[in-house]
Amino acid sequence: MIKPHGAETLQPLYVSDDAQRAELTKAAEQLPSVLISSGAAASAVMLASGYFTPLTGYMNIAEATRVAADMKLPNGLFWPVPVMNIVPDEQLTDAVKNADRIALRDPNVDGNPPIAVMQVSAIETLSTEQKQLLIEKTFGTTDPEHPGVPAFADVGNNVLSGPIEVLNYSYFREDFPDTFRTAVEIREDIAARGWDTVVAFQTRNPMHRAHEELCKIAQREVNADGVLIHMLLGKLKPGDIPAAVRDASIRAMVEHYFPENTVSITGYGFDMLYAGPREALLHAVFRQNCGATHFIVGRDHAGAGAYYDKFDAQDIFDEIPADALQIGIFRGDWTVWCNKCNEIVMMRDCPHGDDDYFNISGTKQREILAAGEPLPPEIARPEVAEILMEYYQSEANA
């Protein structure tokens, strides 16, 4: 199986020993604490799960700015996106300032229980220039209308860095018991299935026909034993379809249209960044940590609006060192319904022209559903369309 990124084995930060975790959870209740952002809590879940191997905690300003500027950790290892714990002034109490260890409280769970304990290596303040650099390099823009920028810009300026020990997986294990999986668990599942070559597919949307065919084309072309459909389960921008609905629709599609034991349906606990090219690189890193040998990067991967060109997320893989990642990248082209072929094709493989194509996209799918219209069979399988239509009708009647 492919090795984790920058390590021989995964390095999950979840405290797996029950007695040790119970003791640390009890101690956390007595420690000075901060209520962290949703993004920082999601990063704790990713660190706990082994997805962010080989990181040991949150970055300080020097580490984060180097990652933003050069995509390198202090030891020179490739890393594409800063992983930080930034809090507002009101969280920075005297007790926190003077503590060696603090508890990090979860904003996404009732009562805000501790999600992790952090060894405080440094408490620093971001300058305006440093914050602008981090945002510009990560998102390619500082526009506050970009859905990812405010989540970074508005959390404060105080950077708390240091290694962490994670006590739980926030709400993901309870809310998505059949879908949420750690990188450790996915590797174990791949081994149990006997898969050697695995192609991973990222999604924050229900899978329409183009997504389905893209997975099948990639599986054929790289001769993969199986497809890892790996859906984001964390926070999204307004208008995106909730995780539970996406989960149900994806399971319906796989059950009816993929051969048995060729697909693993899983999810991970992270908030969407909408960072386009940089997020595509991060997606590749943690799919390598999952054990996938190949990763599909499609059109407008992890994008939002018109902030990125349609294939920027593919082109960025040509800009990083050849040895930065072990995982192979499968580059998806425009995937459309061709009236002459009478099937879904990638345009680069089809001899026909624009007049013969019906473009399929998540945006178009949402627009049709929001208008209360049925999804045509060129866009969605009937089993999927039924689930999505039921959701949109319930929203309209709410």
Secondary structure (3-state) at 349: helix
Beta bridge partners of 103: 33, 117
Q: Cα dist. 133→128, 158, 195 in Å?
A: 9, 16, 42
Nearest to 59 by CA among 28, 77, 38, 81: 81
DSSP string, 244-276: HHHHHHHHHHHHHHS-TTSEEEEEE-------T
Secondary structure (3-state) at 287: helix
CB atoms within 10 A of CB 356: 15
Nearest to 229 by CA among 265, 191, 176, 193: 265
Rounded-to-integer distance, Cα 396 and Cα 163, Å? 46
Catalytic residue among 105, 181, 187, 204: 204
Residue 204 a catalytic site member: yes
Rounded-to-integer distance, Cα 88 and Cα 81, Å? 21
Q: Could you tell me the two tokens for 213?
A: 């065919």
Place of tokens 């990560």: 138
Rounded-to-integer distance, Cα 237 and Cα 212, Å? 23
Nearest to 45 by CA among 271, 264, 223: 271
Nearest to 278 by CA among 307, 250, 256: 307
Phi and psi (nearest 5°) for 101? -130, 145
CB atoms within 10 A of CB 300: 19
Catalytic residue among 105, 205, 251, 289: 205
Residue 168 a catalytic site member: no
Secondary structure (3-state) at 232: strand
Phi and psi (nearest 5°) for 40? -70, -35
Q: Could you tell me the two tokens for 142?
A: 């500082």
Catalytically active residues are: 204-205
